[in-house]
Amino acid sequence: MDSPSTTITSVHPDIIQTHILTRLDGPTLAAAGAASSQLHALATVDKLWRDICTSTWPSLNDPTLQALVSAFPGGHRSFFSDSYPLLAHPLDQYHGQSRKIPPTTSSPTLELISAVDIHYKNSLIFSKVEATETITGWFQCSPFRVDLLDPKDTVPTPVQYSVDGDYKWLSHLEDTLTLSWILIDPTRKRAANLSSLRPVSVKRHWLTGEVQVRYATVVGGDRTVGSEVVQCGIVVTCAGKEGGEMQVREVNLQVEDMEGRHLNGKESLVILQEALENGRRKKAKGEEGKARYERYLEMMGERRERRLRREKTLDMVCIALGVTIFLSFWSYFLFT
């Protein structure tokens, strides 16, 4: 006689929830929840998602953030859905033209909260939560910039600093340093990861010798800033002595348009809110973030070439017009 087959419905819900679902990562748990109504009910328990979120992003252990994320419409599950996939704006969708972001009709955002985690070989080396107010005139008019460290502060790391064998060591940092920068809008209860997760470039500053590790995400721009796409650039500046520990000296975020201009707070807030609410999200794959950044640099070069051609054409028109006017006057005085 054949033994009766065992289905998931015959397993006690407590066993599923405490011994099976707790072993899954976020994407797998979301997939399991879509398999059946019973699994959906068990896989949407907020504690499961809270544990996944805090293990993925240790900065979420902050009590203030815990309360904020719990207030999201779907709790930690919707926060994970917002923040785990990276923003992936289609780079060629607005190529050569700018869109106009419609004005928001909801309550104004009073502050933006940054939850930042840096890992080296999957070990946490830096974690911080930073709130940035968004309503003062100083924020609205000044270049948008979020600094996580004071000028005199440094953060030690277990990474051995090196100057010799420069290319090899910089490549090592590119392979092993990952960063997550989740921007949270407490008013609209939305979040997004502004980082490329892996570095898009690692370079040594030509003057100071400090190492600058750059992460970047390209998001849709706005007609008011004259740029179809903009870059959310995150720079981690590191320094140290040969053979000693590497220290993190600076971690900052800025928003830059395709002309290389840093946007002010008012411009950045409009673009970031649009990215948080309507930005296309996609699971990160290997070097995709770096490839998108390199494509963005190509678009910047193409834009610069178009501008130079227009300026050259305008110069030629002005020269031709000037010569025509001169010859007209010269002919007039010559034959009168």
Higher pLDDT, 20 or 253: 253
The Cα–Cα gap between 183 and 196 comes to 13
Predicted confidence band at 165 (pLDDT cuts at 50, 70, 90)? low
Percentage, residues of the chain above pLDDT 90: 49
Confidence (pLDDT) at 4: 53
- Does pTM surpass 0.75? yes
Judging by beta carbons within 10 Å of its beta carbon (0-12, 13-18, 19+), is residue 295 exposed, middle or buried?
Answer: middle
Mean pLDDT of the chain: 85
Beta strands in 50-110 (DSSP E): 86-87
Ranges of each domain in the chain: 10-84, 86-303
Q: Is 1 helix (H, G, I), strand (E, B) or coil?
A: coil
Please give the Cα distance from 334 to 332 (Å, whole number). 6
Confidence of residue 1 (pLDDT cuts 50, 70, 90): very low
Band (pLDDT 50/70/90 cuts) for residue 109 is confident
pLDDT digits (tens, 9 = 90+) for 254-295: 999 988 899 999 999 999 999 999 988 888 776 788 888 888
Q: Does pLDDT of 167 surpass 50? A: yes
Q: Does 191 score more than 80 pLDDT? A: yes
- Identify which of 248, 161, 233 has the alpha carbon closest to the alpha carbon of residue 201: 233
List the single range of 43-47, 58-62, 185-189, 297-301 with lowest mean pLDDT. 297-301
Residue 176 predicted with pLDDT over 50: yes
Work out the burial of residue 120: count CB atoms within 10 Å of its CB; fewer than 13 is exposed, 13-18 middle, 19 or more buried: middle
Mind listing the pLDDT tens digit for each residue in 40-73? 788 888 999 999 999 999 999 999 999 999 999 9
Kindly report, residue by residue over 203-257, the tens digit of the pLDDT: 988 888 899 999 999 998 876 666 788 999 999 999 988 888 999 999 999 999 9
Q: How confident is the model at residue 113 (pLDDT cuts 50, 70, 90)?
A: very high
Confidence class of residue 141 from pLDDT cuts 50, 70 and 90?
very high
Please state, in angstroms and rounded to a whole number, the distance separating the CA atoms of residues 333 and 325. 13
